Amino acid sequence: MAENKLVDVTLDTRSIGRATPDIEHERDIAIYDLLEENEFAPAKASGGPYKLQLSIAENRLVFDISDVENGPAGTFILSLSPLRKVIKDYFLICESYFSAIRTSAPSQIEAIDMGRRGLHDEGTHILLERLEGKVETNFDTARRLFTLVCVLHWRG
């Protein structure tokens, strides 16, 4: 299973809008966490480890996967439509959360954070469904990928 993992993740710089320090921090943490521990096995690839470049093209999420030994391991494109509402709601609640951690009581921060985590989990489940048959992965890996999808989707 050690070869069924990501060892490099990049985000297409043309897909990323200008980001706040909070969003940049979230992206850096998600990439770091993803590389530290993940399960990623493309359905039609012969074996990893893998490199992944994520991008947005024509309102679609593009997964460009390479095998570190043999080059290209596949590309697939997912519609963002099933994720659009949850991403929008996630960003709204993230704004509230980042504002609250500067000024609100701990109980208010905790309530907002629970909502934020719930939306993140919802987006993760949708992403797992969309990846079915394309990439075998676990919930934690999909959760970190969802964070990166949000970063790519955000246009500033």
Q: What is the pLDDT of residue 143?
A: 93
State the residue range of the domain holding 42: 6-153
Q: State mean pLDDT over 115-135.
A: 95
Span 11-65, pLDDT tens digits: 887 766 666 776 778 778 889 999 999 999 998 777 789 999 999 888 899 999 9
Does 28 fall in a domain?
yes
Does 1 fall in a domain?
no
Does 98 fall in a domain?
yes
Does 144 fall in a domain?
yes
Can you read off the two tokens belonging to residue 119? 């939306």
Question: Would you list the DSSP string of 53-100?
Answer: EEEEETTEEEEEEEETTTEEEEEEEEESHHHHHHHHHHHHHHHHHHHH
* Residues 126/127/129/131 CA torsion (nearest 10 deg): 170
Does 70 fall in a domain?
yes
Does 11 fall in a domain?
yes
Does 18 fall in a domain?
yes
User: How big, in percent rounded to 5, are the helix, strand and coil portions of the chain?
Assistant: 50, 25, 25
Span 59-107, pLDDT tens digits: 899 999 998 877 888 899 999 899 999 999 998 998 898 889 899 999 9
Q: How many domains does the chain have?
A: 1
